[in-house]
Structure 1
Amino acid sequence: MLILKVVSRLLDYPTAELFSAADEIVDVVNQSDELSPQNRAELVDFIRQLTARDLYDAQESYDLLFDRGRALSLLLFEHVHGESRDRGQAMVDLMNVYKSNGFEVDSSQLPDYIPLYLEFLSEQSPEFIQEWLGDISHILTMLSERLIDRKCYYNVLLDSLIEVSGVEVDRAEIAEAVSKEERDDTVEAIDKEWEDKEIRFDDPAGGQCPSAGMQSSQKSLDPNTVHQVPIKWHDADAAEVAGL
Structure 2
Amino acid sequence: MKWGRRHGTELAQRRLVWQSASLLLAYPDAAARDMRLGTVEALYDRLPDERAEPLRATVAHLRRIPVSEAARHYVETFDLRRRTTLLLTYWTDGDTRNRGTAMLAFAQAYRAAGTTPPTGEAPDHLAVVLEFAATVDPDVGGSLLAAHRHAIDAVHTALTERESPYAAVLGAVAGSLPAASDQDVRRARELVLAGPPAEQVGLQPFTLTVPPRRGTAGQGGR
TM score, norm. by length of structure 1:
0.66
- Which residue is equivalent to 2:175? 163
Looking at structure 2, the residues matched to 96 and 22 of structure 1 have their Cα atoms a distance apart, in angstroms, of 31
- Against the structure 1 CA distance between its residues 3 and 39, is the aligned structure 2 distance closer, same or farther, given a 3 Å change threshold? closer
- Against the structure 1 CA distance between its residues 150 and 173, is the aligned structure 2 distance closer, same or farther, given a 3 Å change threshold? farther
- Which residue is equivalent to 1:53? 65
Q: How far did 1:163 drift?
A: 1.5
One-letter identity of the residue aligned with 1:215 = E
Question: How many residues end up aligned between the 2 structures?
Answer: 185
Looking at structure 2, the residues matched to 216 and 44 of structure 1 have their Cα atoms a distance apart, in angstroms, of 39
- Against the structure 1 CA distance between its residues 169 and 40, is the aligned structure 2 distance closer, same or farther, given a 3 Å change threshold? farther
Looking at structure 2, the residues matched to 134 and 18 of structure 1 have their Cα atoms a distance apart, in angstroms, of 28
- Against the structure 1 CA distance between its residues 114 and 24, is the aligned structure 2 distance closer, same or farther, given a 3 Å change threshold? closer
- Against the structure 1 CA distance between its residues 81 and 60, is the aligned structure 2 distance closer, same or farther, given a 3 Å change threshold? same
SS, match of residue 77 in structure 1? helix
Q: How far did 1:139 drift?
A: 0.8
- Which residue is equivalent to 1:4? 18
CA contact (8 A) 1:67 1:73 kept: yes
Looking at structure 1, the residues matched to 177 and 198 of structure 2 have their Cα atoms a distance apart, in angstroms, of 33
- Listed one character per residue, the Cα deviations across residues 53-78 of structure 1 (whole Å, up to 9, x for unaligned) are 10001100111111113211111111
CA contact (8 A) 1:145 1:174 kept: no
- Listed one character per residue, the Cα deviations across residues 67-114 of structure 1 (whole Å, up to 9, x for unaligned) are 113211111111001122111112222212111111223431121111
Looking at structure 2, the residues matched to 42 and 87 of structure 1 have their Cα atoms a distance apart, in angstroms, of 32
One-letter identity of the residue aligned with 2:113 = N
Are residues 1:215 and 2:199 paired? Answer: yes
Percent of pairs with identical residues: 21
One-letter identity of the residue aligned with 2:63 = T
Are residues 1:27 and 2:42 paired? Answer: yes
Alignment of 1:88-237 (within 5 A): 88-169=100-181, 177=190, 180=193, 215=199
Greater shift, 2-11 or 19-28, is seen at: 19-28
Looking at structure 2, the residues matched to 134 and 172 of structure 1 have their Cα atoms a distance apart, in angstroms, of 13
Report which of the two structures shows the higher radius of gyration computed on alpha carbons: 1
Looking at structure 2, the residues matched to 41 and 146 of structure 1 have their Cα atoms a distance apart, in angstroms, of 20
- Against the structure 1 CA distance between its residues 44 and 73, is the aligned structure 2 distance closer, same or farther, given a 3 Å change threshold? same
Q: How far did 1:169 drift?
A: 4.9
Q: Which runs of 5+ in 1 are unaligned?
A: 185-212, 218-244
Q: 1:70 aligns with which of 77, 82, 85?
A: 82
Q: How far did 1:123 drift?
A: 2.7
Looking at structure 1, the residues matched to 68 and 24 of structure 2 have their Cα atoms a distance apart, in angstroms, of 15
TM score, norm. by length of structure 2:
0.72
- Which residue is equivalent to 2:9? none
